[in-house]
């Protein structure tokens, strides 16, 4: 379908920051001027990849945190998937099927709800704001913009880089979580909890111009409140498979692009005691045992990570761990190697990819190499 075009806005004002009344609500979001990209962390049941948050929606809150909802029943469309397909948005749909998912498995109904409740209240997406309007063309604009924002907001990495990772036993404080997210985003964000566990993050923007073509300006939230207690917050693990780090999402801001480009160095979340879980072909397959070998049918070894120089060293009950003759090994006579972390994964020589001759099975252990073998494997730290 060939669409019309959104209205061209010259020198638009920024929503929630205007000093005079603005009458053209096609170039100025009002009254819903605080656009909030909301994300879920669902664990019961789990939704989406095990190392990524998922999309809740894009909400046009008023500048004081109140909001309107269900603003146009005539545009409460019940065929979002078909509309996106009619506009050739197959890549967008594929992404949404992974990252914008319903806890009950009914993604289409979830998308319809988010559009009808919130999308119809965005003033700049009204049909009258398009030249040569084609029916329902605001649908691809709304869903594409929400996904584009979400792709810049990797909450999992922001938390992991501060040592906040999913755990069935660890707890965190609200201040820790909010500080980690603010460090990545640049502004305060709002967090929500259910049954004492972190399950939502809200990122706020003001918009200079329209949602379709305007500039989203990061902002501190106004009028939002958190449902999390100050301490003892759980961040529970998801079941399911992780997405590979290279495809997760881009980093949050220019201020963190520099931070994240250096996140291949440093200790990241590797500190204290933990397991080194093995991932191959996107799913967890066993872990490392005390000699540094890969095993799939026994108890994982407890490793100790200790900060050293620009990274950290590893030790098991057998002794220090190091790379010798391109082989990962742990023992009493081993010289400790300084490793680094990247996105929660073990990294050596700038790469998170290690190798083995095969995937271990039964009682067979496999040696881990840093040079190419037939199987690629990565190792994710699980703090204990």
Residues with active-site annotation: 56, 114, 118
Q: How far apart are CA 374 and CA 241, in angstroms?
A: 22
Q: Whole-angstrom Cα distance, residue 75 to residue 71?
A: 9
Question: Cα–Cα distance between 276 and 313 in angstroms, integer?
Answer: 13
Taking alpha carbons only, the member of 269, 229, 258, 256 closest to residue 51 is 269
Q: Please report, for the chain, how many H helices and E strands are present, in that order.
A: 7, 21
**Cis previous bond, 269, omega within 30:** no
Question: 155 near 238, Cβ under 8 Å?
Answer: no
Per DSSP bridges, beta strands 54-61 and 215-218 are: unpaired
The Cα 347–Cα 328 span in angstroms is 12
8 A C-beta contact, residue 382 and residue 277:
yes
Q: Can you tell me the distance from the alpha carbon of 380 to that of 313, in angstroms, rounded to the nearest whole number?
A: 15
Distance of alpha carbon 188 from alpha carbon 283, whole angstroms: 34
Asked if 172 contacts 233 with a C-beta cutoff of 8 angstroms, the reply is: yes
169: helix, strand or coil = strand
């Amino acid at each position: 379908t060939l669409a019309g075009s959104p209205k061209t806005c010259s020198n638009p004002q920024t929503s929630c920051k205007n000093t005079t009344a603005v009458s053209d609500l096609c170039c100025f979001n009002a009254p819903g001027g605080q656009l909030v990209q909301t994300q879920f962390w669902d664990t019961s049941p789990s939704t989406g990849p095990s190392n990524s948050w998922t999309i809740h929606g894009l909400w046009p809150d008023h500048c004081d945190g109140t909001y309107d909802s269900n603003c146009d029943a005539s545009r409460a469309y019940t065929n979002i998937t078909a509309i996106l397909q009619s506009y050739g948005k197959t890549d967008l749909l594929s992404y949404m099927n992974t990252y914008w998912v319903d806890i009950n498995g009914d993604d289409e109904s979830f998308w319809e709800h988010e559009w009808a409740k919130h999308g119809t209240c965005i003033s700049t997406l009204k049909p009258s704001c398009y030249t040569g309007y084609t029916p329902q063309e605001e649908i691809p604009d709304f869903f594409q913009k929400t996904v584009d924002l979400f792709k810049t907001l990797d909450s999992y990495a922001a938390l992991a880089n501060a040592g906040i990772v999913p755990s069935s036993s660890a707890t965190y404080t609200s201040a820790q979580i909010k500080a980690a997210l603010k460090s990545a985003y640049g502004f305060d964000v709002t967090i929500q909890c259910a049954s004492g566990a972190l399950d939502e993050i809200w990122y706020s923007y003001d918009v200079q111009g329209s949602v379709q073509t305007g500039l989203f300006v990061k902002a501190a939230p106004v009028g939002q409140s958190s449902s999390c207690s100050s301490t003892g917050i759980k961040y529970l693990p998801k079941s399911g498979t992780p997405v590979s780090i290279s495809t997760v999402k881009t980093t949050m801001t220019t201020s963190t692009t520099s931070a994240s480009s250096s996140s291949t160095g440093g200790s990241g979340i590797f500190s204290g005691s933990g397991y080194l879980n093995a991932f191959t072909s996107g799913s967890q397959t066993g872990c490392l045992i005390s000699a540094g070998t890969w095993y799939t049918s026994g108890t994982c070894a407890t490793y100790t990570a200790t900060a050293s120089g620009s990274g950290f060293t590893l030790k098991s009950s057998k002794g220090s761990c190091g790379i010798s003759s391109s082989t990962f090994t742990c023992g009493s006579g081993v010289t400790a190697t300084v490793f680094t972390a990247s996105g929660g994964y073990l990294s050596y020589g700038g790469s998170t990819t290690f190798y083995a001759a095969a995937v271990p099975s039964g009682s067979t252990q496999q040696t881990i190499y840093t040079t190419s073998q037939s199987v690629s494997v990565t190792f994710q730290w699980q703090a204990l």
